[in-house]
């Protein structure tokens, strides 16, 4: 059974992001953040990491399992946006040593259900980067809600206007130009 993980170093920011009686800490059971479940806060942090397009490098990820907060796959995938985030992470995984064909073949194989553990490993790297960003910027804001709004406001999204599609050639586009 695969799971996504929140590392001990991000426990404080996690507790600040959630409002839940299910936590063992006083901070987590106090009305603070807008998220009711750990999995929702994890999806938010992974989304931040994805928007930054800068996951924590694999060799920089914590290796200690002490204080690790695992979220089972069946629970995690029930969160809004979690399955889509897994697929996005898999399709954005790039390796410098690959050519375009190799990269596309590997990325498409990553979205297979059998590769869920690999997806979760990649997702953990993005979530780790997102939690680290939140942790780094939490001192700049008076409340966790302000921190979330700052994250939404400051982290730039990739605009469709910025993407050059002039070199894209899709053979299926010819079907739309057919005359009946």
The better pLDDT of the pair 59, 176 is held by 59
Rounded to an integer, what distance in angstroms lies between the CA atom of residue 138 and that of residue 147? Answer: 6
Q: Per-residue pLDDT tens for 22-66?
A: 555 655 455 567 888 899 999 999 999 998 888 999 999 998 889
DSSP string, the chain: --EEEE-GGGHHHHHHHB--TT-SSTTTTSS-SSBSSHHHHHHHHHHHHHHHT-PPPGGGS----TT-EEEEHHHHTTSTTHHHHHHHHHHH---TT--HHHHHHHHHHHTSGGGHHHHHHHHHHHHHHHHHHHHHHGGGSSSHHHHHHHHHHHSPPPPGGGS--TT---TTHHHHT---
Listed by start position, the domains of the chain span 3-159
Rounded to an integer, what distance in angstroms lies between the CA atom of residue 71 and that of residue 1? Answer: 11
Place of tokens 């390796």: 95
pTM above 0.75, yes or no: yes
Q: Is the predicted pLDDT of residue 180 greater than 70, yes or no?
A: no
Q: Per-residue pLDDT tens for 115-136?
A: 899 999 999 999 999 999 999 9
Q: How many CB atoms lie within 10 A of CB 47?
A: 19
Lowest mean pLDDT among 71-75, 99-103, 147-151, 161-165: 161-165
**Length of the chain measured in residues:** 180
């Amino acid at each position: 059974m695969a799971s996504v993980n929140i590392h001990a170093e991000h426990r404080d920011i996690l507790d600040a992001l959630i409002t839940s009686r299910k936590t063992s800490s006083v901070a987590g059971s106090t009305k603070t953040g807008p998220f009711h479940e750990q999995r929702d806060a994890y999806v938010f942090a992974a989304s931040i990491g994805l928007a930054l397009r800068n996951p924590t490098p694999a060799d920089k990820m914590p290796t200690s399992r002490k204080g690790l907060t695992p979220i089972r796959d069946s629970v995690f995938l029930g969160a809004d946006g979690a399955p889509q985030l897994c697929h996005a992470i898999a399709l954005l995984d790039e390796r410098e040593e690959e050519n375009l064909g190799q990269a596309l073949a590997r990325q498409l194989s990553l979205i297979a259900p059998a590769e869920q553990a690999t997806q979760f490993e990649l997702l953990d790297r993005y979530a780790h980067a997102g939690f680290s960003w939140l942790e780094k910027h939490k001192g700049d804001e008076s409340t966790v809600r302000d921190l979330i709004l700052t994250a939404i406001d400051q982290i730039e999204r990739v605009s469709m206007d910025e993407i050059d599609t002039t070199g894209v050639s899709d053979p299926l586009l010819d079907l739309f130009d057919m005359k009946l």
